[in-house]
Amino acid sequence: MANPSAWSPLREPVFRMLWFANMFSMVGTWVHDVGAGWLMTTLAPSPLMVSLVQTAGTLPMFFLALPAGALADIIDRRKLMIAAEVWMCLIVSVLGFITYRGTIQPSDLLILTFLLGVGVAIATPPWQAITPELVSKDDLAPALALNSVGINISRTIGPALGGLIIASFGIHWAFLFNGFSFFAVAVVLYFWNRQVKNTSLPTEKFVSAMRLGWRFTKNSPDLKSVMLRTGAFIFPAGAMWCLLPLVVKQNLNGDSSDYGFLLTCLGLGAVLGAVFLPNLKKKYSIDFLVGVSIAILSVTMILLGAAPNYSLVCGGMFVGGAAWLTVLSSFNVTAQTVIPSWVRARAMAIYFMLVFFGGYASGSLLWGALANKIGIPTTLYIASGVLIIGLALTYRNRLGDRDSLNLSPSLHWPAPTVAIDMEHDDGPVLVTVEYEIEPKDFENFKTSMQEMRLGRLRDGAMHWGLFQDAEYPGRVVENFLVESWAEHLRQHDRVTETDKAVQEKAWSFHRGQSYPKVSHQLNVL
C-alpha cells in the first residue's frame, strides 16, 4: 500500500474496535474533567485549589511512568489495560456516589483524582504501544494521526456533553458517565484476541527493564531532542488549562455550560487542525508549523488573561485548539518514529508521561500558586512570555529530517558460537570486536564509532569502550558489557536496519579478514 488514506487503518477490525472504544472513553474523561474542575470551583474557589485538581490527576503519571512502561513491555498489555480500566471504573464510581450524597470535601476530590491518575498512569503506556500491533507498517502513520483525531473529536463532544449533564442532572452523573466509559473499554479489551509473540527467552526482569528504558532514552539523541521541546512547551502551556475554569467563572461570569462550550471550541479547532495538518506538512516544515502554533497559543493565553468578552474568547480558543493539535501531534509522531517497538512502552512513558505530565503537573501547581499572589490575568501573561522564551531556547532542536530512520529489526547478527553450556542468567557477558585500522583512517573510524556506541548502549549494553593496542596501533578493540547472556541474545533481536547501516559504515574501515573478530567472554567470579 504505497499511499494509504487517512482512514485506511479503520479497515482493520481490531484497530477500529479499539479506536471507537478509546474515543468513547476519552469523551467520558472530558465529561469527568469538566465535572471535577467545576466541582472544585464550588467547594474551594481559589486558583491554587482548582489547579491542584490538575496536579493530583497528573502527579501519578510522573511517578509511575517508567514502572508502568516496563510492565507494558514485559507482560501481556491487554491484561494490564483491562486491570487499569476496571480500577478507574471503581474509583470514579466512588467519586460519583459521595458527590451524590453531598458529603464530598475538597480533600476527597483530590485524593480520588490522584487514585484515578494511578489508573491512567498504568493504562497509558500500553495504549501508546499497541498501535503498531494493530496495523501494517504502511498504515502506522495514518493510525497515529487517527488517534489524534479521536482525541480531538472527544474534546469536541465531551466538554459540551459534560456541561449539559452537569446542568441537567448534577455533577455526580458526569463521574458515573465516565465510570461507564471505562467499563465499556474493559469489555472491548476482554474480547480482543491478542496474539502474543512466542520467544524462547525468559521474560525481562522488572527492574532490569526499567534500567534499560532509562538507558535507551539517555542514549537516544533524537528522543531527547523531542523531550526537551515538549518540556519547554507544556510547562508554560499548562497555565491555560489549570486556570481556564476560573477565567470562565470569575472573569467571564459564566457557568459550567459556558466552560464546557469553551472547551468544545478548542476541540473543534483541534479537529480542523487535524484535517488541514497533512496538507500543511507538504508545504511547510514541521519545525516551522510548531513554531507558528506555539506563537498562536501564546496570543491565545494573552486573550484569556484579558478576557474581553465570551465570544472573542471562544474564537481565540478555536484557533488555539488548531495550534494545540499541531504542536502535540508533531511532538507525538516524532517521538513514535524514533523509538523501536521492543522498548516503545517504556520510552514513550518516559517521554509522554514524565516530560508531558511532569511538566503539566508542576506547571499547574506553580501557575495556580502564582495566580493566588498576583491574579489570573498577570499569571497568564507571564506564562505566555515563558512559552515564547522556551520556543526560542529549544528551536535548534529540530523535529524534522528523520525520514531515513528504519527501526525495523535487521536480524543480521549471526547466532553466537559458544563451546560451553550457557544459561540465560549467566553473566555479565563481555563482547569484544577486534578491528584492523589503517593509520590514515583512524580519526574517521573513531567518529563513526560514536554512533556505534550509542546503538550498543540503546540496545542493552551497560558499558562500552574502544581501546587501541599500544604495541600494534592498527589493532583496535571495541568492547561492551551486557547484564546477562539472555540480554545479549535479546540484543540480536533489537538491532535495527538503521543500526545495521551504522555498523556497515564503521566496519568499512576494517582492513583485516573479511569481518572483524567477535568474541564473547563470560564472567566466572
Q: Domains of the chain by range and CATH? A: 9-194+201-394 (1.20.1250.20), 429-522 (3.30.70.100)
Amino acid 72: pLDDT: 87
Q: Please report the sign of the dihedral spanned by the C-alpha atoms of residue 40, residue 44, residue 50, residue 51.
A: negative
Q: What is the mean pLDDT of residues 251-256?
A: 81
Amino acid 5: pLDDT: 61
pLDDT in tens, 173-190: 999 999 999 999 999 999
**Confidence band, pLDDT 50/70/90 cuts, at residue 250:** confident
Residue 439 CB-density burial (10 A; 0-12 exposed, 13-18 middle, 19+ buried): exposed
Amino acid 329: pLDDT: 79
The letter for the amino acid at 275 is V
**What whole-number distance in Å separates Cα of residue 177 and Cα of residue 161?**
10
What proportion of the chain, given as a percentage, has pLDDT over 90? 38
Q: What is the mean pLDDT of residues 17-31?
A: 91
**Confidence band, pLDDT 50/70/90 cuts, at residue 119:** very high
**What whole-number distance in Å separates Cα of residue 1 and Cα of residue 8?**
10
Nearest partner of 415 among 201, 206, 202, judged by Cα: 201
Amino acid 198: pLDDT: 67
Residue 486 CB-density burial (10 A; 0-12 exposed, 13-18 middle, 19+ buried): buried
Q: Please report the sign of the dihedral spanned by the C-alpha atoms of residue 353, residue 145, residue 493, residue 502.
A: negative
pLDDT in tens, 282-304: 788 888 999 999 999 999 999 99
Amino acid 379: pLDDT: 93
Amino acid 512: pLDDT: 75
Residue 353 vs residue 31, higher pLDDT: 31
The per-residue pLDDT of the chain, averaged, comes to 86
Task: With beta carbons less than 8 A apart as the criterion, state whether 173 and 96 touch.
Answer: yes
pLDDT in tens, 376-413: 999 999 999 999 999 999 888 888 766 667 888 888 88
**What whole-number distance in Å separates Cα of residue 260 and Cα of residue 310?**
13
Amino acid 506: pLDDT: 92
Predicted confidence (pLDDT) at residue 1 exceeds the cutoff of 60: no
pLDDT in tens, 71-96: 888 888 899 999 999 999 999 999 99
Amino acid 466: pLDDT: 95
Amino acid 468: pLDDT: 93
Residue 180 CB-density burial (10 A; 0-12 exposed, 13-18 middle, 19+ buried): middle
Q: Please report the sign of the dihedral spanned by the C-alpha atoms of residue 433, residue 437, residue 443, residue 448.
A: negative
Give the angle subtended at the CA of 444 by the CAs of 441 and 450, to the nearest 5°: 135
Q: What is the mean pLDDT of residues 212-236?
A: 91
Nearest partner of 213 among 111, 339, 363, 78, judged by Cα: 339
**What whole-number distance in Å separates Cα of residue 159 and Cα of residue 154?**
8
DSSP H or E run through 407: none
Residue 78 CB-density burial (10 A; 0-12 exposed, 13-18 middle, 19+ buried): middle
Q: What is the mean pLDDT of residues 349-374?
A: 82
The residues facing 480 across adjacent strands are: 431, 464
Residue 196 vs residue 41, higher pLDDT: 41
Amino acid 462: pLDDT: 93
Q: What is the mean pLDDT of residues 17-29?
A: 92
Lowest mean pLDDT among 230-244, 264-278, 320-334, 432-446: 264-278
**Confidence band, pLDDT 50/70/90 cuts, at residue 3:** low
Amino acid 285: pLDDT: 87
Residue 476 vs residue 515, higher pLDDT: 476
Enter the C-alpha cell of residue 172.
455526580
